[in-house]
Chain A
Amino acid sequence: GENVEQHPSTLSVQEGDSAVIKCTYSDSASNYFPWYKQELGKRPQLIIDIRSNVGEKKDQRIAVTLNKTAKHFSLHITETQPEDSAVYFCAAGDGGSQGNLIFGKGTKLSVKP
């Protein structure tokens, strides 16, 4: 089955700096890659997703890149703010199945003012 590895497990940056979180996946059939942000004690919320027919997607300060050949994808947050502090999870989904997502272990991002 699918396996998703995520690095780093913790990331500390200064406000205004960029943050990059990387994930790799094992199943070449996976074709949907969402990123979820989870604040302490709250539900995971989708912040951006990418499908395998594109290599990059951007939404304001957040961007995701996908390299299907290498089976890895990355989240980039620019101009980080203290409210970006949270745990970020990458996930991979196989569109051919019922869409269950396999999550990475999460990255705890701390943005210091």
Chain B
Amino acid sequence: EPEVTQTPSHQVTQMGQEVILRCVPISNHLYFYWYRQILGQKVEFLVSFYNNEISEKSEIFDDQFSVERPDGSNFTLKIRSTKLEDSAMYFCASSVYRGLNEQFFGPGTRLTVL
């Protein structure tokens, strides 16, 4: 069964550094999402992406964040200047259609900002 994959599984970085988190959505899916989960807390929506542009973003997704689909398979989340509070598990998800359809989650990237 196809799965969403993410790399790296764990990223450690210094405060102020840029990080890029990578995701490969399921191949026939058209809608892509990033969520984050601070340790022990709920999953929070960051951004949705369709047709090579952002569809919707939350208040968390400020100017420090950007997303890109650089080629036909990868979907990336960039954090320009990391802060301590960016430490979290970042999940990528994808779905075939928008709305009333299952979103398949990747295994996550644990980001630790020191």
Contacts and interface: CB of A to CB of B under 8 A. Distances in A.
Interface stretch (B13-21, B63-71, B73-81, B99-107): B99-107
A12 interface: no
B28 interface: no
Interface of B: 31, 33, 35, 41-45, 48, 50, 55-56, 58, 91, 95, 97-108
B107 A99 contact: no
Interface residues of A, number: 27
A93 B99 contact: yes
Interface of A: 31-32, 34, 36, 42-46, 49, 51, 89, 91, 93-106
A45 B98 contact: no
Contacts of A46: 102-104
